[in-house]
Amino acid sequence: MREIVLDTETTGFDPSEGDRIVEIGAVELLNHVPTGRTYHQYINPERSMPREAFEVHGLGDEFLADKPKFIEIADAFLEFVGPEAKLVIHNASFDMKFLNAELGWVKKPLIANERAIDTLLIARRKFPGSPASLDALCRRFGIDNSSRTLHGALLDSEILAEVYLELIGGRQPGFGLNFEGDNGQKSALGPSDDWRPKPRAVPLPSRLTDEEAAAHAAFVEKMGDSAIWRR
């Protein structure tokens, strides 16, 4: 299974108002394992870079002036992502909106929204009520993002690939599921064909402080009997 972990940087928030992509970064995964193949491209947005965007991305007009326009890199980008690979994106609706706007403007095939896997939605479902930004997830999973002083598409894609693998069950999602029996034949499961993760011998200590527990209890109390935590 081929997946592409992808990130874009843009001049703003809405392509319908003239905002454009200025950088694309992508990392290839095969069966949830990074292959080492990446795609990275700076793009001339054909417009001035707003001050707010410059402060976030560190990409100014002078730097982007000699970079190729999107129409010049569209075919190479589409070739890298391919026609079927899933696109793993944090806040996928934002990046897909920009990618398809750019592709539409240069009359290239659009990318079906169904191909996107949104890690933001996965994180919110898995950790309801907790911060789900890329930085917050790095802290949760102990992923080093100290080099992320500015937003950069390729660096963010590499970090997101690590976060994604943790969100779906760790760096080895199939770990423990391959067993070689006495006859040398490999089985998809163990000898009993009933592999299950076992409880920890010693439960992890709670990270919840007394103050946080009290604040949560007060919050639930305000919600009344319909609160999901009372069910």
Rounded to 10 degrees, the C-alpha dihedral 180/185/186/187 comes to: -100
In the annotation, is 216 catalytic?
A: no
CB 40 within 8 A of CB 25: yes
Q: Amino acid identity, residue 139?
A: R
> 107-110: long-range contacts (C-beta < 8 A, 24 or more apart)?
108/74, 108/75, 108/78, 109/78
With CA atoms as reference, report the closest residue to 94 among 134, 67, 144, 60: 134
Q: Is 209 helix (H, G, I), strand (E, B) or coil?
A: coil
> 165-169: long-range contacts (C-beta < 8 A, 24 or more apart)?
165/32, 166/137, 166/141, 167/119, 167/122, 167/123, 167/126, 167/137, 168/32, 168/122
**Among 32, 40, 57, 151, which one carries the catalytic annotation?**
151
Helix H or strand E segment including 171: none
Whole-angstrom Cα distance, residue 72 to residue 10?
Answer: 17
Catalytic residues: 151
